[in-house]
């Protein structure tokens, strides 16, 4: 719960500091406004229809990216996956983080020279990429880069601390969620509902893109090719998780091939509760997952997007949406403990979050605010 809360809280702070009026920018997330650009003069019907069309196009693009990712993973194109995701994360860690830092520095009236900022962003970016995509470093790279952080880390190849990986994963969620808060209001709410439905179908339906991706990772006993937040395991030391079935009694596990990491930052990866491997020879479940709870990066993004959008209206709606999202996540964890297989983490939380937002905005606030102003309620 804490990482999700931190992600949502920082997103709300960024929205309140940098975009308190909720100004929409169609160029920031062009993929979400391809078919329709919301105008204040449009009727409610036009806004709803255009928002629905935008959301369907966005969902189709995400589904297509997930299918392409599945094909690359199936055909073993790990270098291509690493290269694309490294480039995407470099953009987030260097360029977008730099833009955020410049806006915050301008807001608080501080000044920093360009070279110092670029130096800090470079080190931050390299450390982030290596922490998210840890893999053996070529000898030539060890011999060449001995000055920068990349060189220092490549000379001493060691597992990246889990806390560092978790921190960078949360930061990616914060950055992308803040970008998504610039989507026009009607499109934002319809998009949240559509993505929750997509997550439900993609994880649970036979042939769903996320379901077949998880099944392939389990079949190969490899790391799932997605940016996933991993909690610290409770029954073993932390290792980069391999997705595997628990072998039946007396059978031996097959050798695990090299894993790969990737992410389609818009997709809500399902929540996975790994089962511990049995050392006593007991029977395991058919699709038992690794030890420790895993939450997809897409879940962080859309939770924070919902609360960030609520922050553009009032803090009362922020608290109501936050409580609803956390409650939905708690319900999902209960279902996870019951069914012990990968489940979508968006549907329950998004449903409760959207419901509580509009109930608070349309019902609770008009009742509570006059009482507070007349000192009849504190």
Question: Interior CA angle at 108 toward 317 and 125, to 5°?
Answer: 85
Return the axis-axis angle of helices 114-132 and 78-90, rounded to nearest 10°.
150
Mark whether 258 is an active-site residue: no
Q: Which of 318, 271, 313, 92 is nearest to 185 (CA)?
A: 313
Handedness of CA 41, 44, 45, 49 (dihedral sign): positive
Find the catalytic residue in 199, 258, 280, 291.
199
d(CA 293, CA 235): 12
Judged on CB neighbours under 10 Å (0-12, 13-18, 19+), 327 is middle
Contacts for 247 with CB less than 8 Å, ≥ 6 apart:
253, 284
Find the catalytic residue in 40, 113, 258, 299.
299
Mark whether 199 is an active-site residue: yes
d(CA 50, CA 35): 7
Q: Which tokens is 64 given?
A: 């297509």
d(CA 104, CA 113): 15
DSSP secondary structure, 50-68, as one string: HHHHHHHHHHHHHHHHHHH
Q: Which tokens is 75 given?
A: 């055909």
Q: Are 241 and 292 in contact (CB under 8 A)?
A: yes
Greatest CA separation for the chain? 73
H/E segment holding residue 295: strand 294-296
Give the residue carrying structure tokens 């102003």.
373
H/E segment holding residue 228: strand 228-230
Give the residue carrying structure tokens 């511990």.
276
d(CA 31, CA 54): 8
Q: Which residues are known to be catalytic? A: 199, 299
């Amino acid at each position: 719960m804490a990482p999700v809360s931190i992600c949502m809280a920082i997103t709300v702070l960024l929205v309140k500091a940098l975009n308190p009026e909720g100004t929409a920018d169609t160029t920031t997330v062009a993929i979400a406004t391809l078919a329709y650009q919301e105008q204040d003069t449009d009727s409610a019907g036009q806004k709803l229809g255009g928002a629905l069309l935008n959301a369907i196009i966005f969902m189709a693009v995400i589904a297509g990216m997930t299918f392409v990712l599945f094909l690359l993973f199936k055909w073993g194109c790990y270098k291509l996956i690493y290269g694309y995701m490294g480039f995407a994360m470099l953009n987030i860690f260097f360029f977008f983080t730099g833009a955020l830092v410049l806006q915050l520095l301008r807001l608080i009236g501080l000044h920093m020279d360009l070279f110092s900022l670029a130096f800090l962003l470079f080190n931050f970016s390299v450390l982030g990429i290596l922490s998210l995509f840890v893999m053996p470093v070529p000898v030539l790279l060890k011999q060449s880069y001995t000055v920068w952080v990349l060189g220092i880390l490549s000379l001493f190849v060691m597992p990246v601390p889990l806390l560092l990986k978790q921190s960078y994963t949360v930061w990616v969620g914060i950055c992308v969620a803040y970008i998504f808060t610039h989507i026009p209001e009607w499109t934002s709410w319809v998009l949240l509902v559509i993505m929750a439905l997509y997550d439900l179908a993609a994880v649970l339906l036979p042939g769903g893109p996320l379901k077949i991706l998880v099944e392939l990772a389990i079949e190969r006993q490899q790391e799932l090719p997605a940016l996933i937040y991993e909690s610290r395991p409770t029954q073993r030391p932390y290792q980069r998780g391999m997705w595997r079935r628990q072998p039946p009694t007396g059978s031996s596990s097959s050798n695990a091939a090299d894993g790969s990491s990737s992410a389609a930052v818009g997709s809500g990866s399902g929540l996975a509760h790994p089962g511990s491997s049995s050392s006593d020879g007991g029977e395991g479940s058919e699709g038992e997952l690794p030890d420790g709870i895993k939450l997809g990066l897409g879940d962080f993004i859309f939770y924070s997007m919902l609360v960030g959008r609520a922050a553009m209206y009032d803090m009362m709606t922020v608290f109501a949406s936050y409580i609803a999202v956390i409650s939905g996540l708690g319900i999902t964890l209960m279902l996870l403990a019951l069914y012990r297989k990968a489940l979508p983490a968006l549907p329950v939380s998004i449903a409760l979050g959207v419901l509580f937002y509009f109930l608070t905005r349309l019902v609770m606030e008009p009742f509570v605010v006059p009482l507070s102003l007349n000192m009849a309620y504190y």
